Amino acid sequence: MKYDFTYYNPTKIHFGKDALNKLAGELAAYGENVLLVYGKGSVKRTGIYDKVVKILADANKRVTELEGIKPNPSYSQVLEGARLVRENKVDLILAVGGGSVIDCAKGISVSAYCDGDPWTKYWINFEDVTGTIVPVGSVLTMAGTGSEMNGGSVITNEDVMLKNGRVFPSSVYPKFSILDPEFTYTVPKYQMISGIFDTMSHLMEQYFSGDDDNVTDYLLEGLMRSLIVSARKACDNPTDYEARSNIMWAATLGLNTLTGVSKTQDWEVHMIEHQVGAYTDCAHGAALGVISVPYYKYIYKYGVQKFKRFAENVFDIDTAGMSDDEAALKGIDALGAFIKELGIPENLRALGVTEDMLKPIADSAVTGGGYYKMEAEDILKVLKAAF
């Protein structure tokens, strides 16, 4: 382990078919005023909303609702939620939905009593959180982001065409999260595969980062192997409980900070995708899938041994007799085949990107970089290859 670290995660997880039964006990720790945050109506169509509202009513909670959270939650929705928190003296924000809803809830949590403009303070300048932090809890309905057990909050400011993310400290993490794998059956298959690849991308962003051969790398390889196996089963049978439960837990572990321990991490694929999402409002995981192979082919030479190891340990490729470059590229090709197998769109055009968007996206993307830190001209080349 090359780098020192302190690991702490305060989120309590209730996992399984009866996990929602734990919600009443969690609610007892908070005051009577709850802000219920959810998306555009799927939780109502599937009956999850009714179950949660009944539990809230039985617990004598006074509920204010904020519905219609977008797949790429907007800053205007964060501000509206912050207003509702202040006006209703909210004691708990309960997010029911996928990662976008939970990201928005965390954004509301830190913005409600922020001194100054939250966007500038938290998503541009990445300043420390000040003011009262309103507790967040979650009921997860889509696996992928890991937002249920971390401090991440990715928000789109539509006024300035920026999609920025940041990781808030552990005081902003959800206090509890309810994970019932059967709730993930309610999302369309396209959203399921988008979530699967979002998880895969999280694991790769931490794996391909220049801090090679530590315990965390072995954890990452195991999670990637498990995810690939379960993804194939879930694509064949979306109600395979074992597969969907494995995917759900892999998604949570994949970004609860454990798999980033002693790693510098990359996150370049995500930074590029954020701006693709800002311009198109496309599914996050699908865009990650389109960008990943062109990106890794662009940078693999800077970490060729790790890409060779990826081929061998994640996709079981026999690299005997191959050069390091050949082995590395075989692994990236196997990743591409897996992406195609999932049914992710083949190019950025299919996600609504037009040619005139490419340069503005490249120019506005925030750079990360593990093996190689990209400049705007590098990003533009990757985007053109993905287009």
Answer with the residue of higher pLDDT: 177 or 1: 177
pLDDT tens-digit readout, 140-151: 999 999 999 999
pLDDT tens-digit series, residues 279-312: 998 999 999 999 999 999 999 999 999 999 999 9
**For the chain, what percent of residues have pLDDT higher than 90?**
91
In 3D space, the residue among 355, 143, 159 whose CA is nearest the CA of residue 252 turns out to be: 143
CA dist., res. 183 & res. 51, Å (int):
12
Amino acid at site 344: I
- C-alpha closest to that of 190 among 345, 332, 382: 345
CA dist., res. 216 & res. 233, Å (int): 26
pLDDT classification of 155: cutoffs 50, 70, 90: very high
Q: The sheet that has 92-97: what strands, in order across it?
A: 12-15, 176-179, 136-140, 92-97, 33-38, 62-66
Mean pLDDT across 363-377? 88
Please give the structure tokens belonging to residue 215. Answer: 């315990």
End-to-end CA distance of the chain: 38
CA-CA distance, 291 to 337, in Å (whole number)? 14
Q: Do domains 12-183 and 189-386 have the same CATH topology?
A: no
What whole-number distance in Å separates Cα of residue 177 and Cα of residue 11?
Answer: 7
pLDDT band at 42 (very low <50, low <70, confident <90, very high): confident
Average pLDDT (231-259) is 97
Q: Give the model's confidence band at 203: pLDDT under 50 very low, under 70 low, under 90 confident, else very high.
A: very high
Q: How large is the average pLDDT for residues 89-100? A: 97
Grouping H, G, I as helix, E, B as strand and the rest as coil, residue 189 is helix
CATH 1.20.1090.10 for domain 189-386, yes or no, is yes
80: nearest Cα among 112, 53, 106: 112
pLDDT tens-place string over residues 109-121: 999 999 999 999 9
Q: How many CB atoms lie within 10 A of CB 162?
A: 19
SS3 assignment, position 66: strand
Q: Is the pLDDT of residue 95 over 90?
A: yes
Q: Where are the domains of the chain?
A: 12-183, 189-386
- Compute the Cα dihedral for 142, 16, 177, 3 and give only its sign: negative
Give residue 311's pLDDT.
98
pLDDT bin (cut points 50, 70, 90) of residue 23 is very high
**CATH fold label, 12-183:** Rossmann fold (3.40.50)
Alpha-carbon separation of residue 310 from 241, 262, 294, 315, 328 (angstroms)? 28, 19, 16, 7, 8
